[in-house]
A and B are shown apart, each in its own frame.
Chain A
Amino acid sequence: MNLYVILRRSGWSSAEELGDAAERSTRVGEQMPDDVRWIRSYVLDEGAGTVGTVCIYEAESPEAIRKHAGRADLPVDEIIPVADTVIVRPDPQPATV
């Protein structure tokens, strides 16, 4: 499996919608554990209450990412492969999923 960044810009019109999406993402992910693994996400403030995400996933292929997104009804703007991870400082407190 490789690491990918997935951009989901302005994907949801509210934090609540995003919460529902997160639940779907987890549920569908459990059905395909050998294809995708959700690592983490940063929620983006896209203005006027709209939110998007930058997601980090381990996946077998870009197609596996799209299959997961299709089943979980998540938008996929762009898929970018991660060449390397450089951690300079730990994250500030994340929200629990």
Chain B
Amino acid sequence: MSRAEVEARMEPGGDRLLERAAELEALDEALASVHASGQGRLVLLAGEPGMGKTSLLRAFCAAHDDIPTFQGGCDPLFTPRPLAPFVELADAAGGRLAARVARGRTPADVAAALVEELPRRRPALLVVEDLHWADEATLDVVRLLGRRLESLPLVVVLTYRDEHVDRGHPLRIVLGDLPAAGTVRLALAPLSLDAIATLAGDETVDADALARRTGGNPFFLTEVLAAPGAEMPGTVRDAVLGRAARLGAPARRILDAVSIFPPRAELALLEECVPGYHEGLGECLASGMLHPEGTAVAFRHEIARFVLDAELPPHERMALHRAALHALARTLPPDPARLAYHAEGAGDREAVLRWAPVAAERAAALGSHREAAKQYARALREADGLAPERRAELHERRSYECYLTDQIPEALAARLEALAEHRRRGDRLREGDAHRWVSRLRWFLGENVAAERAAREALDLLEELPPGPELAMAYSNISQLRMLARDCDGGIVWGERAIALAEQLGEVEILVHALNNVGSSQLQRGDPAGRATIERSLDLALAAGLEEHAARAFTNLASQMVETREYAPADHYLERGIAYCRDHDVDSWRLYMTGWLARSHLDQGRWDEAAEAATTVLRYPNPAAPSRIKPLTVVGRLRARRGDPEAWEPLDEALQLAEGMAELQRLAPVAVARAEARWLAGEHDLVAGETGETLAVAIETEDPWAAGELAVWRRRAGVREDPLEVEVAAPWALELAGDGAAAARAWFRLGCPYEAALALTAADGEEPLRRSLAELERLGATRAAACVARMLRSRHGVRGVVVGPRAATRANPRGLTVRELDVLELVTAGLRNREIAARLYLSEKTVHHHVSAILRKLAVPTRGQAAAEAARLGIAKR
């Protein structure tokens, strides 16, 4: 059977594939819905290599050839060209789209070009293939498109190999960020025995053996069936090699040449590598191993290219890359990423050193920092004979790119190399600056002692030289370390030194950094002027487009406000800050702030939102340790309060992370979370151990909120000790003084219902305990409620108190369920059923059902009267 015949069998009926009817139907449905609603739909198409993702799309496009289609694929390269699929897709489309994408300097530019230049009045199809290979900039464009999808009449199909995309993969994170509602997820399954039998047809091939060998993989099947009579290949690799072996020598030379040009080889380039290529090309095309793509040829399947590339003897591969490099070097404009790739393959050291850094710079400019880091690494591999300054520079740039992509250990290693170079050359200025960077990187790794030492070394070196920006930054770095250690005086003194020098030198960035440190220290010591100081830093940063600094300013403003329980301004800064980070792609700060958002939600009783925010951060497999501690404590506390399993895993991880850092701001929130979890579990005797050391540090650094919270947990656990000799924040102080009722009032005023409920347990009498119980049940704090129920029993002999979600229903007068209360709240706000359904993620039918139940339970005939009755009864709102 020829390959063409096999492929005909795979696609019976011309445009129908074997066993892909359901997937084609799903694609048709998505297209129909875009026609009907004008709103975009996202289709995620996953499958192992060779499952037929491309074939499926080809069939779909063939069935809808009247729909404008825009298609691009990601490079199967270790260092893919940034934005490759969009460049490909735009080039094919031509016109304004091509021009705008070519001019685009950032992913935002490219996304805007797509949004504005793709057809708006009729549905269109946008396909991006092989996203598991995507570079960062491409992923950014995908994310940006996803946010605008609702307003574009597009079917966007993204394909990827799901075996590649494990938890840590950047694509997985982007997929998690894309809109979920309306997204169609397709996963291509292997062909069944029936289908395999159909394919094999009347061949004397044992369908069972075929199924076992190929696992139902369509590509593998095609390869096997196209070489009948031959012994069945053991693997896909054998199948591909077997196929290639059947071609003549000229054709095989072509295959080898094309294999080093992922994803395709332009004919002009092929000419250079294999002069007289027309001889073998015809056979390649006829065999079906290669197919034409415009003015280029490509393997019909990447698997085949990959196998043949790997099979090349090293000297042949080098020779081919050399020819490719030679040919490419003559085309304009030069494509540095491609040139660097071939240069490395050719073993051409000079060419690598020429092109890899350029490719890195270009990638960095587009925000593909991962690719930039890899290109610098590629250059550094050849950098032995380079001038030391140049080598040091490459190390420093690589360090910076690694820093931006959260590869901190690599960033540190590269910076240390640069430092060694500077020291060898006696360049004390650059050496000092490198020490300052090392200090910052060590802090990220939680190595505080080493960070302080490096900061000192930077200072010692730089103070001996005429003052310049490096010295100002060294001052500011020390001020930051002091501030983080809660040494307020130190933070302010060093920060002011940095400010003075920065203003003198006109260095805005350093000024912004130092103002932030000083303002944070001011706030920490309770001086409200700190807020204005950080606001000044923020304004300067925003005006100068200093994105990381602006993000840091938002973060420090928000976190300080949350710590002092001023939630209104805190939430305001968090909202603005997170939106800013999202718009400017400042991921690490966005995550850090999201952790604080989780804490803010938790404190204010919005526990579902708290869980959502915390989970968002913890999903990222490798954020710098500081970002994880907050959300881990939030999740641990939630689970402990609700009686959910696995409360100690996050709390233990948080402790481990915090212990490495020895900074109060890390230890205290972990200690209070663990103390609370112990108390909820009835392990009062362990609370003292969890909190002793941290309380001592809190007293030493005069932190009124941390000291108060730690002391209160100890008191609740029955620890008898002398009153603290340091100022304690009001709500905590009231409870320490024995006035639980006043403490609860203070907490309610601050907007902290859970803290209020626990404070009530320190008040006298049965009534406060009952109030506490009701509040804890409303919050869903089942375990905490059980503790309070036990107190009612032991202190006041009250028995038969029911605890649990059903109790919440019984607690409200007309027996409305929690969900009915949600619906009632929105009815009272005047929303129609359809709007309520959208808000609460329910169907309209379900909402209608709830409204009927509400009217029945409240014994009223209309929605308006339901609202009035609810107000009259004072039915608790969430």
Contacts and interface: CB of A to CB of B under 8 A. Distances in A.
A64 B846 contact: no
B812 to A, nearest CB: 15
B185 A33 contact: yes
B842 A73 contact: yes
A77 B804 contact: yes
Contacts of A31: 180-181, 183
A19 interface: no
B117 interface: no
Interface in B145-183: 176, 180-181, 183
A57 interface: no
Interface stretch (B28-36, B69-77, B87-95, B635-643): B635-643
Contact of B644 (A9, A20, A34, A79): A79
Contacts of A4: 645
A97 B840 CA distance: 24
Task: Tell me whether chain B's interface is mostly helix, strand or loop, or mixed.
Answer: helix
A31 B182 CA distance: 8
User: Which interface residue of A10, A34, A61, A67 has the most chain B CB atoms within 10 A?
Assistant: A61
B44 to A, nearest CB: 10
A60 B167 CA distance: 11
Interface string A36-65: 000000000000000000000000111110
B180 A70 contact: no
B612 interface: yes
A15 interface: no
A43 B611 CA distance: 29
A16 B841 CA distance: 21
User: Which interface residue of A20, A75, A76 has the most chain B CB atoms within 10 A?
Assistant: A75
B646 A81 contact: yes
A62 B641 CA distance: 13
Given A24-B846, A31-B181, A63 B635 contact: yes
A58 to B, nearest CB: 14
Interface string B826-848: 00000000000000111100100
B643 A10 contact: no
Contacts of B181: 31
Contacts of B611: 63, 66-67
Contacts of B843: 24
A73 B819 contact: yes
A32 B846 contact: no
A80 B645 contact: yes
Nearest to B647: A62
A28 B841 contact: yes
Interface residues of B, number: 28
Contact of A81 (B643, B645, B819, B842): B645
B180 A61 contact: no
Nearest to B180: A31
Given A70-B608, A73-B819, A64 B646 contact: no
B806 interface: yes
A13 B244 CA distance: 67
A83 to B, nearest CB: 10
Interface string B702-744: 0000000000000000000000000000000000000000000
A9 B804 CA distance: 10
A76 B805 contact: yes
Contact of A67 (B608, B644, B646, B842): B608
Nearest to A75: B805
A73 B806 CA distance: 14
A10 to B, nearest CB: 7
A62 B180 contact: no
B615 interface: yes
A51 B511 CA distance: 66
Given A24-B846, A28-B841, A67 B612 contact: yes
B846 A20 contact: yes
Given A67-B608, A67-B611, A70-B608, A61 B646 contact: yes
A33 B608 CA distance: 19
A97 B824 CA distance: 31
Given A62-B644, A62-B646, A81-B646, A9 B806 contact: yes
Interface in A1-38: 4, 9-10, 20, 24, 28, 31-34
Interface string B846-861: 1001000000000000
A71 B644 contact: no
User: Which interface residue of A32, A33, A63 has the most chain B CB atoms within 10 A?
Assistant: A63
Contacts of A32: 180
Interface of A: 4, 9-10, 20, 24, 28, 31-34, 60-64, 66-67, 70-71, 73, 75-81
Interface of B: 176, 180-181, 183, 185, 608, 611-612, 614-615, 635, 638-639, 642-646, 804-806, 819, 840-843, 846, 849
Given A24-B843, A61-B635, 13 more contacts: A9-B806, A10-B806, A61-B646, A62-B642, A63-B614, A63-B644, A67-B608, A67-B612, A71-B841, A73-B840, A73-B842, A78-B643, A79-B644
23 contacts: A9-B806, A10-B806, A24-B842, A24-B846, A28-B841, A31-B180, A34-B176, A61-B615, A61-B635, A62-B639, A62-B644, A62-B646, A63-B612, A63-B614, A66-B644, A67-B608, A67-B611, A67-B612, A71-B841, A73-B840, A73-B842, A77-B804, A81-B645
